[in-house]
Amino acid sequence: MPEQNESASSMTNILIIDDENQIRKFLDIALRAQGYKTLLAENGQKGLELLALQGADLVILDLGLPDLDGFEVLLELRTWSNVPVIVLSVRANEEEKVKLLDAGANDYVTKPFSIQELMARLRVLLRQYQHSTADAASFDDGVLKIDFSKRQVFLNQQLLSLTRKEYQLLSLLAKNKGQLITQPQILKDLWGPTHQEDTHYLRILVAKLRGKLNDNAIQPKYIITEPGVGLRFLNTY
């Protein structure tokens, strides 16, 4: 509903860092039409200054900037800010995406992009960061329930028997709902830094967990695979 969008977003500041004037204007108009407030920067240095001086609830960051590379901007702001960052890039290769996500980006959108997709990803990140100030005690969508304090998982009110690694993976993804977690991040968290190349471990674990959740790799309800990049947890009930 428009009223709900506007009331929810009217206090939300979005910082747009992009050197292309047309894209800045396009995003500015689209975001303000949804009730968001915007800050505009045409280069990385100005973007960092605006973030430091005025703050923002989310940053949309272009990679191809004229002064600092977007990757450098990301590394710099991550030394002092946890603000959610969506990266815009014409570079679509998987290595670049993994590098960005590991450096602290929360999501990426490849140019040319759909404004509807960008808005949806933006809303997911804002919900995650604005409404979960601390780790939630539980996840419950009416079908799947995860009690993080008791380390228990229920599906249709039936207690599931998960292995330690299955629970660790599910907990990691659910606590970062909507956020893309890279394969190296997951492997490091679950098996340690010496196993960041062992993607076959992860494939086997994901398949077993999907089976217990009655999830489907083709039409997933919970665990979304971004091929060659990582996993994202979404609940679509």
Closest CA to 177 of 131, 117, 211, 214: 131
Please tell me the pTM assigned to this model.
0.58
Residue 208 identity (one-letter amino acid)? K
Q: How far is CA 94 from the centre of its chain?
A: 16
> For 13-27, 54-68, 124-138, 146-160, which range has the lowest pLDDT when averaged over its residues?
124-138
What letter represents residue 166's amino acid? Answer: E
Q: Give mean pLDDT, residues 75-96.
A: 85
Average pLDDT over residues 85-100: 85
Is residue 33 very low, low, confident or very high in pLDDT (cuts 50, 70, 90)? Answer: very high
CA atoms within 13 A on the CB side of 135: 12
What's the confidence (pLDDT) of residue 236? 58
d(CA 93, CA 121): 20
Mean pLDDT of the chain: 86
Identify the structural domains of the chain with CATH numbers, from first to last.
2-131 (3.40.50.2300), 138-233 (1.10.10.10)
Q: How far apart, in whole angstroms, are the C-alpha atoms of residue 134 and residue 129?
A: 9
Contact (Cβ atoms closer than 8 angstroms) between residue 109 and residue 86: yes
* pLDDT for 135 beyond 60: no
Residues 6+ away with beta carbon under 8 Å from 168? 189, 190
Judged against a pLDDT cut of 90, whether residue 89 lies above it is answered with no
* Half-sphere exposure of residue 177: CA atoms within 13 angstroms, side-chain side: 22
pLDDT, tens digit, 9 for 90 and up, residues 141-199: 889 999 887 889 999 999 999 988 899 999 999 988 888 888 888 888 888 777 778 88
